[in-house]
Structure 1
């Protein structure tokens, strides 16, 4: 892990490029109010509430449909990770069970009771699970959508909530098709047949334009899993979308870039808040900055991109590597535990001359800032420091992803599972078979 420090940028690059039109309009609106402290206080309140906005995701379906595995997958966990939902073919969920996101306490995924019992009644079920608590529902099946799924969906529609249909375990279907008909096997065609069949069942039951997502909870970056993530993201409001994006598992470069863009949106607000409330100059500096804002957001970036100690420990367990080996890939940013007030002040002091030059250059890009506040240097410095740190955190996260691609951890191996099931069945029939199978197992190790 390298010793991080912002490099002096090339001319024109100090602020990571020009502000977007939307950001300039927001800055202009702030300027026209003529009350910097009032604007800063409002922005501070907005930013604080953004990190506390609750997002509650409800997962329901029949027993054995893969609900619990999906609860784990959408949080970036394997079935054996700490905090994972208990999985198994026997129904393990009798009451709504809350599973908090491993790093975002405001995001909760709920594993709801199964709906396949003969006595199932949608209206009483929704009352039992406290229907109003959830932002949207995901209905999962591993085979076909039945009367229970559809009657529940109708009740959810009536109450004005969004719902999404998910067909799980498609990797098992593909394996079965390839085993039975290897010469005519066509993955694209088979997936389309599964989707068409699900859609037909739903339409026949009265759904006007159902969308069905085909997934495998053990392979987060394949089939319709990325499309499902994008759909959920696009259909949430801005505040819920922020929480959802930051909660996505870091399994692709695309997700890393989404998280980066989401964080970058708010840096100008943090910079404005910083220079408005930081009235006490720091030792060795000719301007004031809010060190707490820098510290908190640098740590937040590390956590969002899986570069904190807990995330790295979890990933090391998943990939079967020492934590130190994962940390060796992180070349630029420090560990979160190293980010202290003293560290930030030292960094600012060492970079004071460059920071002033950078901030003054920033005023060329943001002419509004000049008359808006006397702390333009503070604004530019905070903006630049957070932008630089965010960019470097993403680069290190990409390094980790490239060397340890997380979605491969949970790839489904149907052949192994079927062999295991077949072996268990034969073992129960005769002791001689058990001996033979054990010998075979030893030979294949």
Structure 2
């Protein structure tokens, strides 16, 4: 369904608000649920041993030592024998599909795409540990024919850079990266790949090199309705990503606040406060997961960055980051917010004022939830920034 607050729906939605509160409530709930379940399917392919599984794990925020069932198995030999989906641990509607290395199958490129279920994927990432091979190019040409997006990733650029530094008397990182990138692009152009996009990545250090450029490109080239879905699931590897995630989350606050307002229109004492608390908990949990401040993500970040988990937690300020988010915590935080408390109290009183009571209660409830979620989002954004600085410092790109 479309955005109920979008231009094409605004008039209809306003009429529902005035005449049918349950229908308006159902429309907003359906919209939020739809937004939370927009599927994004990413195909990860390439030659055997190129680092596909390592990339899948890194993109999903899992550390290299994770032995859970959620992690894709990695190794120096081909470990992917069949198409296997790996949903994002915090955003299961975003799935990375680890495909068998094309060089390990008996299928030619065109049949390979049919075998792995080409149509289900939004785009392809073709991984190579070193130079792109004949099989990589054949596959890219078939994807190109079918008018889908694909991107080339050199997955072990940290090793390449180390080798280059050992052999160059006057090593320059920027210049060396540019030479490697241009060499890849020129080679692919000669093999008739149209406008090849090549990204140099270290799967163990996503904050270095070109991964941030890859995320920007994916975000820009995805269909509009899928951009925020992918953005929220992407690993946070630079400050701009934190800001973009914040803006995407902030844009949804009006819907949560509207649900609160619609609940307030039902004249049942205490109902709106109870519903508001549930709305606030659910939204705040999503904020925390989006910024990677949940326990699992923090533990993985500690392993990746080499910074002790306790040291990462020490730079957090808000109780939202440090404590388990539940109704009790949310209510405590609301009690220390004078504006929010005043709005809640006014709402409970105003709903019983003849004629103007229900509209007034709805307005107060909207204001209360809107202010609270903005405050909570700001608090978690600040913690995400301080944790990022502690983990990676200023070393977020070469």
For the aligned pair, the TM-score class normalised by the smaller chain equals 0.7 to 0.9
Q: Comparing 171-180 with 382-391, which one deviates more in the overlay?
A: 171-180
Q: Give runs of aligned pairs for residues 88-167 of structure 1, distance below 5 A.
A: 88-117=75-104, 119-167=106-154
Is this contact kept in 2: 1:79–1:86, CA < 8 A? no
Matched, 1:58 2:43: yes
Identify the residue that residue 233 of structure 2 maps to in structure 1. Answer: 247
Deviation at 1:296, TM superposition (A): 0.6
Deviation at 1:50, TM superposition (A): 0.9
Identify the residue that residue 35 of structure 1 maps to in structure 2. Answer: 16
Identify the residue that residue 182 of structure 2 maps to in structure 1. Answer: 196
1:63 aligned counterpart, secondary structure? coil
RMSD value, Cα: 3.4
Identify the residue that residue 310 of structure 1 maps to in structure 2. Answer: 296
Deviation at 1:287, TM superposition (A): 7.5
TM-score after normalising by structure 1: 0.75
Q: What is the distance in 2 between the residues matched to 1:34 and 1:224?
A: 49
Identify the residue that residue 422 of structure 1 maps to in structure 2. Answer: none
CA gap of 1:79–1:250, structure 2 versus 1, over 3 A, is same
Q: What is the distance in 1 between the residues matched to 2:324 and 2:105?
A: 57
Q: Structure 2: where are the runs of 5+ without partners?
A: 347-355
CA gap of 1:407–1:245, structure 2 versus 1, over 3 A, is farther
Q: What is the distance in 2 between the residues matched to 1:49 and 1:32?
A: 17
CA gap of 1:66–1:297, structure 2 versus 1, over 3 A, is same
Superposed CA deviations along residues 356-406 of structure 1, whole A, max 9, x for unmatched, are 46999xxxxxxxxx9x94411111111000000000011112222222229
Is this contact kept in 1: 2:321–2:380, CA < 8 A? no
Deviation at 1:230, TM superposition (A): 0.3
Q: What is the distance in 1 between the residues matched to 2:273 and 2:193?
A: 62
Identify the residue that residue 380 of structure 1 maps to in structure 2. Answer: 367
Superposed CA deviations along residues 237-293 of structure 1, whole A, max 9, x for unmatched, are 23321221111113322211111111001101111122113425555x998863221
TM-score after normalising by structure 2: 0.83
Q: Give runs of aligned pairs for residues 78-97 of structure 1, distance below 5 A.
A: 78-81=63-66, 82=68, 83-97=70-84
Is this contact kept in 2: 1:93–1:114, CA < 8 A? yes
Q: 2:389 pairs with 402, 407, 413, which one?
A: 402
Identify the residue that residue 229 of structure 1 maps to in structure 2. Answer: 215
Q: What is the distance in 2 between the residues matched to 1:373 and 1:203?
A: 63
Superposed CA deviations along residues 197-247 of structure 1, whole A, max 9, x for unmatched, are 222222222122212112221221222111001000111123321221111
Q: 1:295 pairs with 278, 281, 284, which one?
A: 281
Q: Comparing 80-89 with 348-357, which one deviates more in the overlay?
A: 348-357
CA gap of 1:383–1:326, structure 2 versus 1, over 3 A, is same
Deviation at 1:160, TM superposition (A): 2.9
CA gap of 1:251–1:343, structure 2 versus 1, over 3 A, is same
Q: Comparing 286-295 with 152-161, which one deviates more in the overlay?
A: 286-295
Q: Give runs of aligned pairs for residues 12-31 of structure 1, distance below 5 A.
A: 29=10
Identify the residue that residue 351 of structure 2 maps to in structure 1. Answer: none
Q: What is the distance in 2 between the residues matched to 1:321 and 1:210?
A: 37
Q: What is the distance in 2 between the residues matched to 1:347 and 1:174?
A: 49
Deviation at 1:69, TM superposition (A): 1.7
Deviation at 1:342, TM superposition (A): 4.2
2:237 aligned counterpart, secondary structure? coil
1:109 aligned counterpart, secondary structure? strand
Q: How many residues were matched structurally?
A: 378
Is the radius of gyration larger for structure 1 or structure 2? 1
Q: What is the distance in 1 between the residues matched to 2:76 and 2:11?
A: 57
Is this contact kept in 2: 1:122–1:155, CA < 8 A? yes
Identify the residue that residue 171 of structure 1 maps to in structure 2. Answer: 158
Identify the residue that residue 263 of structure 1 maps to in structure 2. Answer: 249
Is this contact kept in 1: 2:321–2:383, CA < 8 A? no
2:56 aligned counterpart, secondary structure? helix
Q: Whose relative contact order is higher, 1 or 2, with alpha carbons under 8 Å and at least 6 apart?
A: 1
2:48 aligned counterpart, secondary structure? coil
Is this contact kept in 1: 2:212–2:237, CA < 8 A? no
2:298 aligned counterpart, secondary structure? helix
Q: Comparing 105-114 with 273-282, which one deviates more in the overlay?
A: 273-282
Q: What is the distance in 1 between the residues matched to 2:168 and 2:217?
A: 34
